[in-house]
Amino acid sequence: MNAKEIKNMIDFIAKSGLAEVNIETEEFKIKVKRDTEGRVITTPAMPQQAAAPVAAAPAPQETAASAPANDESSKYIQIKSPMIGTFYRSPKPEDPSFVNVGDSVSVGDRVCIVEAMKLFNEIESEISGTIVKVLVENASPVEYDQPLFLVDPA
C-alpha cells in the first residue's frame, strides 16, 4: 500500500464516520482510529507475518453491553455484536454452547463467537447476570451492534 492509497483510505474513513479500522495483510498492518474530538489518528504500517490477508471490521464506539432492551422488558440488558460476521454459539458444531438461557454470566465470560473474514472472534460479556434470551440463530449472519443476548442483571 503506497502513501496515496493510505491517504485516500484515511479520507474515506474520516467522511464515513467510522471510529476505527484495522487492516492486516501479509506485508503490513495498519490501524486508523478517530479520537473523541474527530481528528484522525494513524499508526505506522508495520511488517506482519500473517498466513493470509485479513481485514477486521470496524470496532464498536460503545461497549457491547448496551442500554436496556426496548422490545422485551426494560429491566434486561442487551449484549450486542461488536462487528459484522457470522454468529456461533459454540467453538465447534459438536461442542456445547458457551451459554444457554438460564446460565449465569460474569464480566469477561465468553458468550459466543463472531466469525469475520475467517477470523473467529470470541465475544465476552461486559455485564454480569443471567441469560434470559438468545436473540440470534446459530450460524446466522449478524450486523454491527445487533443484539445477541438479553441479560437480567439482577
Same domain, 148 and 88: yes
The residue among 135 and 37 whose pLDDT is bigger is 135
Same domain, 127 and 93: yes
SS3 82: coil
Q: Which three cell numbers stand for residue 59?
A: 470496532
Same domain, 74 and 130: yes
In the chain, what percentage of residues exceed pLDDT 70?
Answer: 62
The residue among 62 and 153 whose pLDDT is bigger is 153
Q: DSSP class of residue 38?
A: S
What is the C-alpha separation between 88 and 139, in angstroms, rounded?
5
Same domain, 74 and 40: no
- Element at 14 (helix H, strand E): helix 3-16
Total domain count for the chain?
2
Above 70 in pLDDT, residue 5? Answer: yes
Same domain, 104 and 81: yes
Which residues have C-beta within 8 Å of that of residue 94, sequence separation ≥ 6?
none
Does 7 map to a domain?
yes
Specify whether the CB–CB gap between 90 and 110 falls below 8 A. no
Does 129 map to a domain?
yes
pLDDT tens figures, 8-20: 777 766 666 666 7
Same domain, 77 and 129: yes
Same domain, 24 and 85: no
Above 50 in pLDDT, residue 69? Answer: no
Q: How many helices, marked H, and strands, marked E, lie in the chain? A: 1, 13
Does 87 map to a domain?
yes
Domain that holds residue 50: 3-55
Above 60 in pLDDT, residue 61? Answer: no
Of 17, 33, 55, the residue at which a domain comes to its end is 55
Does 60 map to a domain?
no
Same domain, 9 and 84: no
